Structure 1
Amino acid sequence: GVCAGLSWMSGNWSIMQMSSLAPPTSYVAPPPTNTSQWPPPPDWKAPSFTRAAQFRVGATLVLFLFAAVSNLALLGSVWCGRGRRLASHLRPLMLSLASADLVMTFVVMPLDAVWNVTVQWYGGDVLCKLLCFLKLFAMHASAFILVVISLDRQHAILHPLDALSAHRRNRVMLLLAWSLSLLLASPQLFIFRAIRVEAVDFTQCATHGSFSRRWQETVYNMFHFTTLYVVPLLVMSCCYSRILLHIHLQHLRDKAGESYLRRSGTDIIPKARMKTLKMTVVIVLSFVVCWTPYYLLGIWYWFQPDMLRVTPEYVHHGLFVFGNLNTCCDPVIYGFYTPSFRADLAACCRRTKSDASLRSPDRLSARHKADPATNNQAGH
């Protein structure tokens, strides 16, 4: 199937096994439960919860816990903590990035883990369509928001005097990013459905039967590969290339003795702006490093489906887990470059430790003995 827009991103290799089946010679009318029935091929074997899949589930749960806590902390810091001191045009960007990572965390990771454990699909047709839509929506939103951040940094460095319009411009770009994510994910609602294999009591959420030819599914996959990875990568690369070229030209002017430009306010990059630029570059690089191996694996599968029999199962599962690591990287990178976020975390830890010590049995006993009113009531 094409869950998350890519057949190999389905969360379970059993979906890919079903969607690679040849279309049946005669269509079997779906039963009243809106679950399509398909006869199993002669050599079809139901998948199982393998050791590699168990590793994938365990690693995904660890990433889920870390990503949930760290991204919620980031969201809280920027929304109501010291992160409110960020520039007004930067706050919506970081809030959107944390929100997109949380959608990935609470939709993609649990769905992937549960699906690997159950192997087949038990959620019904409506939930099949909805979750596959949400999965692709989350992945698009995460990529598009990084594009918006890159465009914002480019404008801030190349046009530093145009900061007044940055807030309105970023709001428009963020609205466009979220809207495009919804639009591009909407086909999932129509091509996915619960499919039941006759005679073997096996149901799966897949796209089998939605494409009459294999090349149509490949085109669909390649389209989402382009929107999820190629276009964002090209735009981000263009933005940061222009930024690097601008900085390089500034250094050349300085070496040429044009010292008056250094104090003009247009050619020098303030330390705070440069620090934000470094942070966004690292965030983009983490996205590229984490997801590139998995996308390359998907391209290989599209054009050579037999690669599933060639590569070990641990490779497939490991690369997907490595891609999800990107969701955990963003708050870590933000914390590394932002002292206010670290201060909020330290304050939260101190409050938690203080509350725990106040609720400890020894402290409660000491307070009970030291409270005269309590002692008098006990005497009565």
Structure 2
Amino acid sequence: MSVCHEVTNTSCVASRWPRDVRAPLYSLMALIILTTLAGNLIVIISISHFRQLHSPTNWLLHSMAMVDFLLGFLVMPYSMVRSVEHCWYFGEIFCKIHTSADIMLSSASIFHLSFISIDRYYAVCDPLRYKVRMSLLVSAVMIFISWSVPAVFAFGMIFLELNFKGAEEMYLEHIHCRSGCSIFFSKITGVLVFMISFYIPGSIMLCVYCRIYFVAKEQARSIKGTNPNLQTGLEVKAGVLQSKERKAMTTLGIVLGVFLICWCPFFVSMVADPFLNYTIPLALNEALIWFGYLNSTFNPMVYAFFYPWFRKALKIILLGKIFQKDSSRCKIFLDSSP
């Protein structure tokens, strides 16, 4: 039996996977990391560089891309080694920093998704007052909350060791081992993390997107039921609205589907593990964490790749036109809003 530390009786057990299993795992995780970094970096560059994209909505997207980029840059590489080797070679203090940053950035990404859903709600359900409701100041407040609340919650909980509250003996006797860095939660803190990092923002997303769906349906129905004398022009408008509605519903379905598929298994496992006496295997926990990370990989694809302005910005960047004089003033889209 291979161990992680020279003091074998208190050491964590190292992975027993042979090289021909480890190599594909490292390759897959490295691909996820590189895709996460590349996709989110393109979003950051696009919104930062092109002045036409400097809107409250896009600054929310920019901030979320920053969170996801940092998750891929600061957290995922160390998680990759831990997941494959089942050992932690970077010291106890850095384990706390890594765990805190992991919880913070993952939660911040989910917070951003929740606020973006609120932004989309006002855009669809109250378009006349949208620019007043979603000002640059409101966007800045949303960004501040999305960063600060997860940071205080994550670093405070880990460095004050509140995650062990009520399960200290269980952790020391059955979970703790040298050269390990597993994310541990007691029953109380597990439920708290589940509520703050997943259930509350996830419920907001679900309720808001359901509301958007019904409002869009009602708008299309009201146009169809107007004065027959105005039917010719309104039929065209209704057709355009129905087309936009279908596209919006497809996008919303993808947004919710990706979010739930990526994060739901991990959070359900996390909150259930303390009530199952921590019997969920380490390998399964690590796999579910990486499923959650995939949400940060897919975010730029779901939220940016679906926008025509992003495709044009991407083309300008890839062709090197971004280095031309006054490229920041390029017309990325024709309407008043992307």
TM-score range, shorter chain: 0.7 to 0.9
Distance of 1:277 and 1:89 partners within structure 2: 22
The answer as to 2:193 corresponding to 1:224 is yes
Question: In structure 2, what is the equivalent of residue 71 of structure 1?
Answer: 40
Letter in 2 for 1:70: G
Question: In structure 1, what is the equivalent of residue 266 of structure 2?
Answer: 294
* SS of match in other structure, 2:81: helix
Q: Is residue 145–residue 174 contact of structure 1 (8 Å, CA) maintained in 2? A: yes
Quote the offset at 1:299 in angstroms: 3.8
Quote the offset at 1:117 in angstroms: 5.0
Q: Is residue 262–residue 295 contact of structure 2 (8 Å, CA) maintained in 1? A: yes
Structure 1 stretch displaced more, 271-280 or 54-63: 271-280
> Of 291, 316, 328, which aligns to 1:347?
316
Question: In structure 2, what is the equivalent of residue 85 of structure 1?
Answer: 52
The answer as to 2:257 corresponding to 1:285 is yes
Question: In structure 1, what is the equivalent of residue 153 of structure 2?
Answer: 184
**Taking every aligned residue pair, what percent have the same amino acid on both sides?**
23
Decide whether aligned partners of structure 1 residues 96 and 134 sit closer, same or farther in structure 2, where only a CA change above 3 A counts. same
Distance of 1:87 and 1:163 partners within structure 2: 16
Q: Is residue 122–residue 203 contact of structure 1 (8 Å, CA) maintained in 2? A: yes
Letter in 2 for 1:231: I
> Of 93, 97, 105, which aligns to 1:138?
105
Quote the offset at 1:240 in angstroms: 1.1
Distance of 2:149 and 2:63 partners within structure 1: 14
> Of 293, 305, 316, which aligns to 1:324?
293
Distance of 1:249 and 1:279 partners within structure 2: 19
Decide whether aligned partners of structure 1 residues 80 and 176 sit closer, same or farther in structure 2, where only a CA change above 3 A counts. same
Distance of 1:277 and 1:171 partners within structure 2: 27
Decide whether aligned partners of structure 1 residues 48 and 174 sit closer, same or farther in structure 2, where only a CA change above 3 A counts. same
Distance of 1:274 and 1:162 partners within structure 2: 24
Aligned-residue RMSD, C-alpha: 3.8
Question: In structure 2, what is the equivalent of residue 308 of structure 1?
Answer: 280
Distance of 1:269 and 1:177 partners within structure 2: 32
Distance of 1:343 and 1:225 partners within structure 2: 39
| Residues 121-160 of structure 1 aligned to structure 2 (within 5 Å) | 121-160=88-127
Question: In structure 1, what is the equivalent of residue 70 of structure 2?
Answer: 103
Quote the offset at 1:180 in angstroms: 0.9
Q: Deviations over 1:152-175 (max 9, x none)?
A: 111222221213321222222221
Distance of 2:246 and 2:269 partners within structure 1: 35
Quote the offset at 1:258 in angstroms: 5.4
> Of 69, 73, 80, which aligns to 1:113?
80
Quote the offset at 1:89 in angstroms: 1.8
Distance of 2:85 and 2:221 partners within structure 1: 61
Distance of 1:319 and 1:151 partners within structure 2: 28
Q: Deviations over 1:51-110 (max 9, x none)?
A: 5666543321110011111110111011103xx423622121110111111122112211
> Of 180, 188, 197, which aligns to 1:204?
180
Question: In structure 1, what is the equivalent of residue 336 of structure 2?
Answer: none
* SS of match in other structure, 1:121: coil
Decide whether aligned partners of structure 1 residues 321 and 176 sit closer, same or farther in structure 2, where only a CA change above 3 A counts. closer
Gaps of 5+ in 1: 1-13, 16-37, 209-215, 353-380
Letter in 1 for 2:78: L
Distance of 2:43 and 2:149 partners within structure 1: 25
Structure 1 stretch displaced more, 105-114 or 48-57: 48-57
Question: In structure 2, what is the equivalent of residue 10 of structure 1?
Answer: none
Decide whether aligned partners of structure 1 residues 346 and 39 sit closer, same or farther in structure 2, where only a CA change above 3 A counts. closer
Decide whether aligned partners of structure 1 residues 278 and 206 sit closer, same or farther in structure 2, where only a CA change above 3 A counts. closer
Decide whether aligned partners of structure 1 residues 339 and 86 sit closer, same or farther in structure 2, where only a CA change above 3 A counts. same
Q: TM (normalized to structure 1)? A: 0.66
Question: In structure 2, what is the equivalent of residue 366 of structure 1?
Answer: none
Decide whether aligned partners of structure 1 residues 289 and 121 sit closer, same or farther in structure 2, where only a CA change above 3 A counts. closer
Q: Deviations over 1:237-288 (max 9, x none)?
A: 111121122122223323432578998xxx9969889967864653343112
Quote the offset at 1:234 in angstroms: 0.7
Distance of 2:278 and 2:159 partners within structure 1: 28
| Count of residues paired in the alignment | 296
Gaps of 5+ in 2: 165-170, 322-338
* SS of match in other structure, 2:179: strand
Decide whether aligned partners of structure 1 residues 139 and 244 sit closer, same or farther in structure 2, where only a CA change above 3 A counts. same
Letter in 2 for 1:202: R
